[in-house]
Structure 1
Amino acid sequence: MSDKAATRDGDDADAVVAEQVARARRAQAVYEEYDQAAVDEVVTAVGWAVVEPERNRELSELAVATTGIGDIEDKVTKNRRKTMGLLRDLQGARTVGVVAEYPELGLVEIARPVGVVGAVTPSTNPVATPTNKAINALKGRNAVIIAPSPKGQAACERLLHYIHTELDRVGAPRDLVQQLAAPVSKARTQALMKQVDLLVVTGSQNNVRSAYSSGTPAIGVGAGNVPVIIDETADLDDAAAKITASKTFDHATSCSSENSAVILDAVYDGAIAALERAGGVMLDEGGKRRLQEALWVDGKLNRDAIAQSAVTIAKLAGLDDIAAQAPRFLMVEESGVGGEYPFSGEKLSPVLAVYRARDFDAAFEQTRAILEHQGKGHSVGIHTANDDHVLRLGLEMPVCRVIVNQAHAFGNGGNFDNGLPFSLSMGCGTWGQNSISENLNYRHYLNTTRIARTIPPREPSMDDLFGDYRSRYGL
């Protein structure tokens, strides 16, 4: 594209997005007057737009057909569980008016909208992620404009059709939830980033960095590359079953899917046998080389291999004998970490790198090295009965989540049997160059106004603060 053409495209993008943002602001001004009960009805309506079984299946089928990514049945499950879990989290949460009072401090907290939210979403979850962001935004009385990936555009358009149907049902403005006008382009996405009040970005790190440099307050999330440790106290069959369920779900589209297993030497053979019983197939060195050639082209993940079944990937690598075994996932033994060892990074496919560690100290260092290479700040899993190992990971490993004896892809984004908020966007803290270190949730879509009144003074004396210190050092 010439410089003049690029300029015209940018100018057109600015105008197109400005018109959408103006409509969103008008709708949000109306919505801001809703009380909590009316807001919660809107939130429920948008949840039903996706959870209704026939719609969910249609959206899941369309997502796989148009993106070429993932598994239909797993997307049906994901769309339902993630939305149901989020609605559970939001039940009873106060986001309108006075939400907290602290008489002893003289403080009253009032929830206020942020305004118009720009939500950038990935092709890996073209229904679940936009739904999650839209519901969280609406819970705070905001409007939201979704910028899907180009591949996810068709599924998002159909999703919006159903959302608008439900907004009509409850009498709420349609323009509360919009999609970036087609055709979705880099210029239009960047224009959106500059014109909204808050950006929430899930997907490529290029989009996250663009959001951070847009001048708009932005919440981005970090790259995944989850390692999981299996120590000498683990229930090996339970660990294998959970890793398999997580690794194969939706063909590993989740950023929380295990990418590496670091196994202690004392249980290595038994753990590999358990993983094989669960459906994994270990490749020999020749198979590993062919798989590497198929998964990476010119140093980048092969788009034809991303989130495909293990059978499809084996065939792509020319491993027809392996494909004939109908593996659920593929395993390769690895020892190195870094650019020269691509299996040490995120693979976005049902492929698991396996490392052997002599003891827990070695496993800890191996895991840290993997995260330093990619995925720092995101999360780590462990299968263990040793609480000291768990606590050490929490105290020392540069991650925001330690997932214990769980299928990582399910537990990390919130599950019905753990206390993490349901989310498809994982903050990675300063380790991952993010501003948040928790799962993105409705609180991040709110401004808070605080009323402060006087209270009885609580001014300390010099002795209160420095008495012990001065006595200790003879001051």
Structure 2
Amino acid sequence: MRDEEGEPRVRLIVARARAAQEAFAGASQETVDLAVTAAGWAIMEPRRNRALAEQAVRDTGLGTVDDKFDKNHRKTLGLLRDLRGARSVGVLTDDPDTGITEIARPVGVVAGLTPSTHPVATPINYIINALKGRNAVILAPSPKGAGVCARLLDHVHDELAKVGLPADLAQMLPPPASKALTMELMRQADLVLAAGSQANVRAAYSSGTPALGVGLGNVAAIISPNADFQATAARIAVSKSFDNATSCSSENSLVVIGDAWRPLLAALAAEGGVLATPEERSQLEAAMFPSSKLSPAVVAQSAPRLARLAGLDRDDYAACRFIMAHEDTTHVGSRHPLSGEKLSPVLTLYRVADFDAAIAQVRAIYDYQGKGHSVGVHGASPQEILRLGLELPVCRVIVDQIHSYAVSGAFDNGQPFSMAMGCGTWGGNGFSDNLTYRHFLNIIRIVRPTTPRQPRVEDVFDDYWRRYGR
């Protein structure tokens, strides 16, 4: 797919980015860190953040203003904390034992595909990380997010000007967006970052340019009978209702073990959850998945609005925070779409007998959708927690935390703050960690000779020979 008329426009934008980046490539660490701080303040200034959050909801119709304000603030502040003092210019490490010196170099021009669900938080994350590596970045926002992305860039340009840096370090494709223009941008860039739909990720990987894409979310969380039910329900309620569940890290299913069922349901109800009847569950599924595909009309809408769309008129739904649907453990897969990602405040509940059955249930869910992303667990023993990492196809095991916060970095865990989580080969990705500034660097290694450490053949094979012969 090529856009012959659009190709020169993209070439011009990329050329401006390259010129700005080539000048910025010689910047000192101090100048780089000033650029990072400037871009951070572009969104962290409270009045600007509030206006951006309001426009994001107004333009996209997704999520809530207060939660987007909080997300923009918290994720940016956490990223700035992670980058403070981190070296990204010149020599990174110099190890006399190995004789290896690591040197940071920019990747060049970065193309960043950003989703409508996070039309501000993801672009600023890309911009800050790109600047930390002395790169330029060109954003390709979703059509609904283009207006607020342009406003964000205006603020970034104003702040960059204060520290004497060119606006062309951070640009975006001009609207109206098209798949052809985005594909052309990816072809001409040096690195592609793709968040949002799996169609974006597949396009990035097929662009011919090195790409980092994220996997599909469909988080399940296991609840043990040993959990603190009130604390667990409070965490799940925050995670599931935050920004109307725009995050791919919000729980989509709870796998509840044995005697945890009744007390957990009671605790979830106390946090604003409403359990649908079997008839209501069928209505909800039909409204959310016409023709077995998730309807855009339900994405990131409030639970009361979802209830109205589904014709659920029970008084309980008028002010609920999230809706729960109990499913049989065999109801997983394309014929049971509530077992998949819902991007809305709806939780599917499965009841299982024991921890072995819980692992099997999560594996079945991820065989359908969500493999590689993460799994939550509440109240498990250290041995059970370790089993999840050893046995499930996930890159993160989130223990006793607010899942949608914890996965992408929180102030009370060690995960780096990020708006893009790699899901490893299970999720069809080339990386399994959170996207950080190091992904925006080419790291060169100077390799010097050291004292030889060649073992004798006998040292390597002696035990093998004793056990199995030569």
Q: TM-score, normalised by structure 2?
A: 0.98
Q: CA deviation at 1:473?
A: 2.4
Question: Which of residues 387, 391, 395 in structure 2 aligns to 1:396?
Answer: 391
Question: Which residue, 164, 167, 170 being the options, matches 1:174?
Answer: 167
User: Which residue of the partner structure matches residue 361 of structure 1?
Assistant: 356
CA distance in structure 2 between the aligned counterparts of 1:14 and 1:195, rounded to whole angstroms? 10
The structure 2 residue matched to 1:162, chosen from 141, 147, 155, is 155
Give the C-alpha shift of residue 322 in structure 1. 4.3
Does 2:426 align with 1:442? no
| Alignment partner of 1:250 out of 243, 255, 260 | 243
- Greater displacement, 82-91 / 180-189: 180-189
The equivalent of 2:212 in structure 1 is 219
In percent, how many aligned pairs have the same letter? Answer: 56
Provide the residue aligned with 2:344 in structure 1. Answer: 349
Out of 137, 145, 168, the residue aligned to residue 152 of structure 1 is 145
2:295 is the alignment partner of 1:302:
yes
Give per-residue Cα distances to partners, 1:298-356, cap 9 Å, x unaligned.
22211111100001111111112246541110000012100111100000000000000
What is the rounded CA distance, in whole Å, between the counterparts of 2:454 and 2:10 in structure 1? 52
Structure 1: unaligned runs, 5 residues or longer? 1-5
SS at match of 1:304: helix
CA contact (8 A) 2:274 2:316 kept: no
Give 5+ residue unaligned stretches, structure 2.
none
Distance 1:384 1:425 in 2: 27
**Conserved in 1, the CA contact under 8 Å of 2:339 and 2:365?**
yes
2-structure distance, mates of 1:114, 1:280:
47
For structure 1, which segment, 317-326 or 135-144, has the greater mean C-alpha deviation from structure 2 after superposition?
317-326
Tell me the amino acid that sits aligned with residue 250 of structure 2: S
Please state how far the C-alpha of 1:363 moved relative to its aligned partner: 1.0
Aligned to 1:424: 419
**Which of 270, 282, 292 lines up with 1:289 in the alignment?**
282
Render the CA deviation track for 1:426-457: whole Å, top value 9, x for unaligned: 10000001000011111111001111111122
Shift of 1:471: 2.8
1:463 match: secondary structure: helix
CA apart distance, 1:297? 2.0
Q: Is the 8 A contact 1:311 1:323 kept in 2?
A: no
- Structure 2: how far apart are the matches of 1:253 and 1:468? 55
CA distance in 2, matches of 1:389, 1:158: 47
Match for 1:184: what amino acid? A
Q: Name the counterpart of 2:465.
A: 470
Please tell me whether the aligned partners of residues 333 and 354 of structure 1 are also in contact (alpha carbons under 8 angstroms): yes
User: What letter matches 2:279 in structure 1?
Assistant: G
2:79 matched residue in structure 1: 86
Query: Structure 2 CA distance, aligned partners of 1:245 and 1:352?
Result: 13
Say whether residues 1:55 and 2:48 are aligned partners.
yes
Kindly indicate whether residue 407 of structure 2 is the aligned counterpart of residue 412 of structure 1: yes
Q: Could you give the per-residue CA deviations for residues 355-402 of structure 1, whole angstroms, max 9, x where no partner exists?
A: 000111111101111111100000000001411111110111100000
Check whether the contact 1:394–1:402 (CA below 8 A) recurs between aligned residues: yes
Q: Is the Cα contact below 8 Å between 1:36 and 1:94 reproduced in 2?
A: yes
Secondary structure (helix, strand or coil) at the match of 1:216 reads coil
* Contact 1:118 1:196 (C-alpha < 8 Å) held by counterparts: yes
Is the 2:373–2:427 Cα contact (8 Å) retained in structure 1? yes
* 2:30 maps to 1:42: no
CA drift at 1:181: 1.7
Do 2:222 and 2:377's aligned partners in 1 also have CA atoms closer than 8 Å? yes
The answer on 1:378 being equivalent to 2:373 is yes
Name which of 25, 28, 31 aligns with 2:24. Answer: 31
- For the 8 Å contact 1:279–1:328, the answer to whether it is kept is yes
Match of 2:123 among 127, 130, 151: 130
Give the ranges of 4+ consecutive aligned residues of structure 1 lying more than 3 Å apart after TM superposition: 322-325
Residue 444 of structure 2 aligns to a residue whose secondary structure is: strand
CA distance in 2, matches of 1:232, 1:417: 25
Deviation string, structure 1 residues 138-188 (Cα, Å, up to 9, x no partner) = 100000000000011011010000000001111101100001122111111
- How far residue 470 of structure 1 moved from its aligned partner, in angstroms, is 2.1
Question: Residues 303 and 317 of structure 2 are in contact (CA less than 8 Å); yes or no, is this contact kept in structure 1?
Answer: no
1:84-118 per-residue CA deviation (whole Å, 9 max, x = no partner) reads 00000001110000010011111111000000000
In terms of mean alpha carbon deviation, does 462-471 or 261-270 score higher?
Answer: 462-471
Amino acid of the structure 2 residue aligned with 1:426? M
- SS of corresponding position for 1:391: helix
Q: In the alignment, is the contact (CA less than 8 A) between 1:413 and 1:420 conserved in 2? A: yes
Q: Distance in 2 between matches of 1:174 and 1:307?
A: 33
User: Which residue number in structure 1 is paired with residue 111 of structure 2?
Assistant: 118
Residues of 1 paired with 2:316 and 2:307: CA distance? Answer: 5
Cross-structure match for 1:77:
70
- Paired residues of 1:257 and 1:409 also in contact (CA < 8 A): yes
> Aligned with 1:224: secondary structure?
coil
1:140 aligns with 2:133: yes
How many residue pairs end up in the alignment? 468
- 1:393-424 C-alpha deviation (Å, 9 max, x unpaired): 01111000000000100001010000001011
Q: Name the SS for the 2:314 alignment partner.
A: helix
1 CA distance for matches of 2:428 and 2:296?
Answer: 26
* Partner SS, residue 57 of structure 1: helix
- How many angstroms apart in 2 are the aligned matches of 1:314 and 1:24? 47
Whether 2:269 is the aligned partner of 1:276: answer yes
Query: Which of 184, 189, 211 is the equivalent residue of 1:191?
Result: 184
| 1:452 partnered with 2:443 | no
Distance 1:414 1:114 in 2: 24
Q: Which amino acid aligns with 1:171?
A: G
| Rounded Cα–Cα distance in structure 2 between residues aligned with 1:268 and 1:340 | 25
- Distance in 1 (alpha carbons) for counterparts of 2:438 and 2:419: 15
CA shift, 1:32, in A, is: 0.6
1:66 paired residue among 59, 66, 78: 59
User: Which residue of the partner structure matches residue 327 of structure 2?
Assistant: 334
Amino acid paired to 1:86: L
| Match runs of 1:223-242 below 5 Å | 223-242=216-235
